[in-house]
Every structure is written in structure tokens, then in C-alpha cells.
Structure 1
Amino acid sequence: MYLKNSEYKIIQNLGSGSDHYVFKGQHNKTQNICAIKIEKKSGIGQLENEIQILQQLQGIDGIPKIIEIGKTNDLKNFLIIPLLNCSLQDLGKSEKLSLWSIIAIGLSVIRIMREVHNKGILHLDIKPENIMVTSNSIINSTEQILISGNVNLIDFGLSQNIRNTIFLKQTFIGSLRFASRQSHRREQLGYKDDLESLLYVLAYLRNKKLPWQYYQQMAFYLMDIKKIGAIKDQSYKTSLLSQQFPPQFYHFQQYIDNLNHSSLPDYNYIEELFKQMLSLNYAQIKPSLSETYQFNILRDLENSEDNIVNESISNRNADDLKVTLISDLIKAYQTIKIKSIKDIHF
């Protein structure tokens, strides 16, 4: 496989997504290294969608710069962007991230998200694998983390203009672990859903787990979507997700809950909450829940989980239980070029 009319060449296979391959590439003359994404089959639409979204977001710090786009010799779309190989998922596995680093990462992503949302774009797949840092050497310095461009938001294959989300009702979008409650309910998504997914990411980095992750059956069945959605609903009613953060994090959680799906968030307020957290020292931070109370909440969630789901299902008829595959929407709406839930990895 080669790239038509390109001065870049493929030198190493780095991995693959549900609909694309990722390669390490190199410029023939300058020897500059890059990442090359190539769709697995021509016309799938997700990589084409990502290219269209990235073109609208060029110039925003923390958004990958498009180096080149084009076709392979067998007419598959390709996208060349800078190579970023240090994700939060990798960092979370290999290093203990401090509270301050996690908060600084959150603030950096919020600043990127503000610019993306101001363009009317929703990311819709916020998760640790899609948040990158330029180097793991900066992770223990909040000052370095907060420098524009040192934290990047990637993978816009699921992203949509907010005007198009009306077509995605009755559709689960995102990953089971980090998707918003609204997505589990298959309701119309908005700006708040990206923020909610970010909240889950930060809680996951801090606690190394989420209350619902052990109920995940590693398959995208209807019951998995409903069961985990029910646990998220119960967890969100408490301060369980915010227990290892300063109080401002729970204020962030409450603010998200009170937002309308179509309302543009008040990013000045959100940024101020995160700046307040960064200004605190460890002596000022106390867990919001006692260990006994935390255990009781987790026990109650486990005991009530099946009852919650069964009650939810009993109140709906068979038509209500239908989950539309995004691949079906691709056929119906040419602008909605995103993948089936069966293909989404978490």
C-alpha cells in the first residue's frame, strides 16, 4: 500500500481502530515522523467524517494539525497528523498521577473543549485513550501540562455538529465506561455530554476505577447499556465520583447535571472551579465521604442494580427497547458518517 501523490511513506504499523489502521510514517526528504490513519475499507465514512471535523477545528491549540489528506493507491482515505503516542490510558497504567496533574489535565481539556464547542462541534467519545500529552516527562508539572498544545484531544471519528444530533436519538454513542447518562437513555446529546464524559475520565484517573466498570460484560448488548446506565444514574446522585477531589469537583458535577443539552456551558465558571482546586494544598483537601459511607453506597448500588434495570425495562414496551445501530443511520443520513456501537472499543 502506498499514498498517492504524497511525500510520506509508511514505516511501521502502530495498531488499528474499528474502521482504520494507524501507521508510523516518515517524510521522504526531511525524515520527519508522523502518524498516518488509513481506513480499512473505502467509503466507511468515519475517517472521512474525522477529516471534515478536523478541517473545521484547525488552528485550535490541542487539536491535531492536518499535515496531509488524500487517497491510497486502492482509493482508501488517509489522514496524516503529528505522531502523539502518550495517552492518559497509558499514563494511568504506568504512573501514579497526582491529584494536581489530573486537575491540570482536566483544565487543559476544558480549554480545548471550549473552542471545539464554540464551533458547534461535539466530540462524543471522550475517554483516556483520546486524550494525549506530548511527553510523559511533563506529567508531574502542572505548569507544563497547562501550556497550550501540551495536551491534545484526538479521534474525532464520532464527532458531530450539534445540529445533527437530532438524528442520533435512540442511538447509544460512545464507550460503555465513559459515555454520558444521556447516551445510555438514547436521548439527544449536547455539549454537557462531553463534559460528563470528562468528569468520568478524571474520576477514573484519580480512583483507578469507576463504580460501574466491573459490571461491564465486554460486549455491547442492550442489557449492558441499560445496566451500566442505571448504575451511572445512581452513582451520579451521590458524591461518590467526587470523593477524592476538592469540593469544587462536586460543584462541577452538579453544574453538568443542571445544564440543558443544547446550552453552551459557562466555561469561565468551570475554569474558575478548576483553578480554585489547583490553588489548594493537600492539607485543605478532605474526602467528601467517609470510608464506611463509601462502602454502603457501593453495596447499595450492587444490591439494587438488577432491580433498577428490571424496573426500567418493565416500564417500557418492546419498541422502546430498540437500540438503533449507528451504521443504520449512516445509510439514512449521509452527514452522519459514524460507526456501529458494535465497533466501539472502550
Structure 2
Amino acid sequence: MAAGMFMPEALACPGWEYAGKLYKELKSRDTLSFEAWKLFLEAFPDQSELSHNFRLEIHEVITCWPSIVKSISTLDTNALTNFCANGLTLDLAKLISLTAIPTLTALIHTNPSQRRTHPLTGNAIRDWCRAVREKNAFPNLKLLYLCSIPDHGSPDITVLGHLSNFPALALVGIERAGSHSSIKASGTCGQWQRTTANREHKLNKTMRDTQKTIAEKTKALYTYACRVRESQTADTSGASEVEQPVLTLSCYAPRSTRDASTATWFIRRHLAPGEPQKRALIVLDHQNDGARGTKKHKIRQAKQCDVGILLDSFGNPPASDLKDYYALQS
């Protein structure tokens, strides 16, 4: 189908009953191009049957990254966008470029080798999250899976503090080679709570399911993220979002570079009134009785944790409500 030969109005005129047949025919023949898909979306912005997964070769993503991001950033805001970066090296520049996509709802990154070759450092995470805050980006991103943080890099408590800049984020998976999280199962960290051991097992099982495509895994995890957000914020928009057209872009890469390992999962919890969220400033006075006299070193913690975390998490509200929610979901 030559997309340039059609206008959205021409597709919309006969209605979905007829245009839908053409759409299904293109899908069945595997000839549906991205430009053609965009035309259908413009003509029928609320048609959930337009949900589609475009699989991209890894070399295509690397060479065409700017044009891919630009194309997605201009999509109708009624559509949702899931990006499954299998085997792709996501450096700081690429992560920041994704902030131009307001429809991004899920970002899944599976490439364990990046932890060794191009790890996502603490400074990179901080700068990315700062860019998100300054640009008011990712208004719809609810699901995030990171695999490139080195095993002995920034601790989860620091990463989660930075990720609090993401306004809609509800579910985060942090994959490392081993279990290094200082946050125990069901433990809290500012706005975040680690899932129960049972729930974490189920989420990791979903990621490792070899019978499902990455698009299917992402859909399952995103649906759960919407439920978490609804339970915490009384936001009922998630139910309707699942029915919106969803564009999924998934990179195809060798299995060794895209297999998921074990992740630590966190959900965003509702902060009780009066709970602090500000960045902490710690001042350490080091007394030196030598020839140079007294020295004072002011050390600013870049971790965006609340004061309760730095003081051993005193005063955190009980997690009984969340446990009841998990029981219903089991």
C-alpha cells in the first residue's frame, strides 16, 4: 500500500467496517508499513484494533534512531507506545532522546552485556532523570525495566530516588546479575515499595517466559502497572488506556543479548500527607588537629531520597493495604 496515495479522510469516509478489512488484509500479508499504520491511526484514533507490533532489526534501530524517534514523537496522543529495546545499547544520549515521545507508556530494556560494555552509571541515571523533570517528559510512562545498571553501581535506593521525577511511573524492574538490593521484600524506599517475594517471582516469570513475545510480556506487565497506579492514586484511566491503540516497537536481536535475568521489582506507593520528598543535604564536619587546622567538607547527597530513608526509614506507613492488593492479584 503506497501511503502517499491516501489521505486519512479517504479511509475514514467509508467507516471502520470497510477500512478495517483493508487493514486486516495488509496485516495478513505482512505488508503493513509504519506510514500506512499512521494513516489508519489518523483516520480512526480510537480504534483499539489498530494495536500493532513492529519488529525492527537491531542494525535498523542503530542506524535510523533519530528518524525512528522523530516519527514516534509525532503520533496522535490517543495512541500508546511501548518500546522493547532487546539487545540494544541504550546510552544517555538515546535515553534523553526518548523524552521527546509523549506517548511512551512502557520502556523495556534487555541487554545484560551492556552492564559490562557500556554500563548505565549513577551520573547518567541522574542526568536522564533530571532531563525528564526539566522537560516535563514521560507524562504516560508507567512501566520501566532497566538492565544496564552495573551490579555494584548505584544502589536501588539511589536509582529509585531519581526515578521519582517520572510523574506517572508505577512499576520498575531493575535487573542485575545478582541480588544486591538493600531493600528487602515489601520494604519501602520513599515513594517506592519493593513487591512481595511471591509477586516478584511472578513478574520475573513473565519476563523469562519463552512462549510469549516481548510485546505480549510488555502488555501483561503494563496492565499490572495500570492496576497498581489505580490502587494507589484512584486513577481509573488505566482501564480505558488498555483499550487504546498501542504501537509496540520491538528490536530483534540474538537471544544471548535479550534474555532477561532476575530483577528486583518496585511499585510506587501513595505518600501519606506530610511525608518528606525533598533532597537531603548532609554536612559532615571533619576535625583535623594538624598544621592545617579545622577543615569542613560539605557533601551534597545526589540521591533523591526522603529524609526518612536517610534516618533508617522511620515513620513509614504500614503496608497492609498493599499486601491486601497483592492477595487479590495472586
TM-score range, shorter chain: under 0.3
Q: In terms of Rg, which structure is larger?
A: 2
- With the length of structure 2 as denominator, give the TM-score of the two structures: 0.26
Q: Which has the higher strand share?
A: 2
Relative contact order higher in (CA < 8 Å, ≥ 6 apart): 2
> 1 or 2, which has the higher helix percentage?
1
TM-score, length of structure 1 as denominator length: 0.26
